[in-house]
């Protein structure tokens, strides 16, 4: 049995955690394309079909963020207690049913119900569930593994032009129905390969061995010394993954928790608002819907490669330093989008935004695992996201409201630009919990 578990842990010579990274990336790709990056495309279609204004459309997005703010800590708690496997099945089934209902909407209230159902499913079986899984399986290579898994978000961008084609040529109803069926069909098979923790198959994070107490007959002093050395090495490997373990209550009392929360909030308002308003903003500038979605594809492509580079560098240098650079690039990209409206500058925005976005997303998550451990990662991440989820309720809605009043995105986009610069410099204050107090004690 032990041999079988060890074989499972290193299937075909590769640590099983990397297979889970692939599964996470694929599932996040489906969620990103349909729930996150494809939202703006659906909103344009609804605006054209029903004549709903952008305040109404972005209001649904804001309500979904309110749902996330309320349920985020609960979802994190459930992931920690029930595991990713069960959450994925439930979450993707709910998402799929939400899209099936979305394909039949005729009124605003039906649209809101459908969108909130989709959002509930993505909250249960999406982001928190999969990044918790990766955090459980990796420690030394956490940033790289997180970057590869989260690359699914970028891969989702490649599906957006396909969605746009479907909406333009077949209508939003058939496109939504097909998406719903796909999500329902893949939910159960994909979850069957998920194992919640490496300890479940007899290994530790990164494939490190777990020390086991062994009853042995009396041995020579030399043998005992050799066994002691091996045991200490194994213990160091296992315990390194669980260093800095904290409960949610302990995490809330640290400066690092709130620094990360503020940095997340000030940077995410632009990310989430652009998921709703970028495509409409570009089409307002005279860019076609298909071309606007190719702008999304470009920044997605850049983000894909930058995420791998950022993850590799962060595991070998400083996550905080790499995060600062990524968030600063996003701030400059937001400034380009705010002050220009030509197609060449849209391409420039896409390159710079993608370079920052690709690293910011996985590293701001991986740093939670580094600072607070594995055991309560989902709960702590859910709590850390509450302030940003509240901001995400307001930001897209206000951007839509101001546009409807002034027929311009300048004021909200300028606000997001300033906040993005603030967030980049705030992250420089992040320190491993205990380091600041230790330094103070030395002085």
Q: How confident is the model at residue 92 (pLDDT cuts 50, 70, 90)?
A: very high
C-alpha span between 261 and 266 (Å, rounded): 9
Q: What residues contact residue 48 under an 8 Å CB cut-off, 6+ apart?
A: none
357 located within any domain:
yes
Does some domain include residue 312? yes
Alpha carbon distances (Å) from 1 to 8, 89, 201, 330: 11, 28, 10, 50
Q: What is the predicted pLDDT for the residue at 220? A: 52
Whether the per-residue pLDDT at 241 is higher than 60: the answer is: no
Taking the whole predicted model, whether its pTM rises above 0.85 is answered as no
Q: Does some domain include residue 232?
A: no
Spatial distance between the Cα atoms of 225 and 227, rounded to a whole number of angstroms: 5
Task: Let me know if residue 106 belongs to a domain.
Answer: yes
pLDDT confidence of residue 233: 43
Residue 387 in any domain: the answer is: yes
Has residue 240 been placed in a domain? no
For residue 419, name the pLDDT band (cuts at 50, 70, 90): very high
The predicted structure's pLDDT at residue 210? 67
pLDDT tens, position by position, 23-51: 999 999 998 888 877 777 788 888 888 88
Look-up of token digits 């955090």: 135
* 238 neighbors 210 (Cβ within 8 angstroms): yes
Percent of the chain clearing pLDDT 70 (strictly above): 87
Residues 6+ apart with CB under 8 A from 174: 103, 166
Name residue, tokens 């005279």: 286
Higher pLDDT, 266 or 434: 266
pLDDT at 250 over 60: yes
Weakest-pLDDT range from 34-48, 97-111, 421-435: 34-48
Residue 106 sits in a domain whose CATH number is 1.20.1250.20
Q: What is the mean pLDDT of residues 270-294?
A: 85
Angstrom distance (rounded) from CA 168 to CA 152 = 25
Is the confidence at residue 435, as pLDDT, over 70? no
Q: Which residue has the higher pLDDT, 326 or 406?
A: 326
For the chain, the domain total comes to 1
**Residue 217: pLDDT over 60:** no
pLDDT of res. 398: 87
Residue 227's pLDDT is 45
Pair of tokens at residue 253 = 């009392």
- Backbone torsions φ then ψ of 27, nearest 5 degrees: -70, -40
In this prediction, residue 173 carries a pLDDT of: 92
Does 226 score more than 70 pLDDT? no
- For residue 434, pLDDT over 80 is answered with no
Query: Among 54-58, 60-64, 143-147, which range has the highest average pLDDT?
Result: 143-147
* Residue 42 or residue 229, greater confidence: 42
Range of the domain at 324: 13-198+246-431
pLDDT (mean) for 105-109: 90
Distances (CA, A) of 233 to 236, 260, 436: 5, 33, 29
The reply to whether 414 falls in a domain is yes
Whole-angstrom distance, CA of residue 125 vs CA of residue 131? 11
Sign of torsion over alpha carbons 108, 113, 117, 123: positive
Lowest-confidence segment of 69-73, 123-127, 334-338, 399-403 by average pLDDT: 69-73
- CA nearest neighbour of 373 among 264, 262, 261, 238: 238
Across the chain, what does the average pLDDT equal?
83
pLDDT above 90 for 56 = no
Q: What is the pLDDT of residue 44?
A: 80
Q: What is the pLDDT of residue 161?
A: 81
Examine residue 420 and state whether it is found in any structural domain, yes or no. Answer: yes
Measured distance CA(142)–CA(311) in Å, rounded: 8
Tokens of 83: 């595991």
The tens digit of pLDDT for each residue in 70-90 reads 777 888 888 888 888 899 999
pLDDT of residue 236: 45
Give 286's pLDDT tier (boundaries 50, 70, 90).
Answer: confident
pLDDT reported for residue 159: 85
Mean pLDDT for 221-246 is 51
Rounded CA separation 279/301 (Å): 17
pLDDT in tens, 287-298: 888 888 788 888
């Amino acid at each position: 049995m032990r041999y079988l578990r060890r074989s499972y842990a290193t299937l075909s010579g590769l640590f099983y955690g990397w297979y889970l990274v692939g599964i996470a990336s694929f599932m996040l790709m489906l969620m990103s394309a349909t729930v996150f990056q494809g939202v703006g495309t659906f909103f344009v279609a609804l605006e054209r079909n029903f004549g709903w204004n952008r305040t109404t459309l972005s209001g649904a997005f804001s309500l979904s963020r309110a749902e996330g703010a309320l349920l985020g800590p609960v979802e994190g708690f459930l992931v920690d207690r029930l595991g990713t496997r069960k959450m994925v099945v439930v979450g993707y089934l709910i998402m799929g049913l939400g899209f099936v209902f979305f394909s039949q909407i005729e009124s605003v209230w039906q649209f809101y119900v459908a969108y909130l159902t989709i959002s509930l499913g993505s909250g249960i079986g999406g982001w928190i569930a999969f990044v918790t899984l990766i955090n459980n399986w990796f420690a030394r290579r956490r940033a790289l593994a997180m970057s590869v898994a989260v690359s699914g978000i970028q891969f989702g961008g490649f599906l957006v032009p396909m969605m746009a084609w479907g909406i333009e040529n077949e209508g939003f109803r058939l496109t939504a129905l097909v998406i719903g069926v796909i999500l329902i069909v893949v939910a159960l098979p994909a979850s069957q390969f998920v194992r919640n923790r490496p300890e479940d198959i007899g290994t530790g994070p990164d494939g490190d061995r777990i020390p086991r107490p062994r009853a042995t007959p009396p041995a020579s002093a030399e043998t005992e010394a050799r066994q002691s050395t091996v045991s200490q090495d194994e213990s160091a490997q296992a315990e390194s993954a669980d260093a800095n373990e904290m409960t949610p209550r302990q995490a809330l009392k640290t400066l690092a928790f709130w620094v990360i929360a503020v940095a997340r909030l000030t940077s995410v308002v632009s990310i989430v608002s652009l998921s709703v308003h970028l495509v409409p903003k570009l089409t307002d500038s005279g860019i076609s819907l298909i071309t606007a979605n190719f702008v999304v594809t470009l920044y997605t492509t850049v983000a894909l490669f930058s995420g791998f580079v950022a993850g590799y560098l962060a595991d070998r240098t400083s996550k905080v330093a790499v995060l600062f650079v990524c968030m600063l690039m996003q701030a400059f990209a937001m400034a380009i989008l705010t002050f220009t409206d030509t197609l060449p500058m849209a391409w420039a925005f896409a390159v710079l935004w993608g370079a920052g976005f690709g690293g910011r997303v996985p590293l701001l998550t991986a740093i939670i695992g580094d600072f607070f451990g594995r055991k309560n990662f989902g709960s702590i991440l859910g709590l850390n996201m509450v302030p940003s989820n509240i901001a995400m309720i307001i930001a897209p809605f206000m951007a839509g409201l101001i546009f409807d009043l002034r027929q311009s995105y300048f004021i909200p986009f300028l606000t997001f630009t300033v906040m993005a610069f603030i967030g980049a410099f705030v992250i420089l204050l992040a320190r491993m919990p205990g380091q600041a107090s230790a330094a103070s004690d030395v002085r």
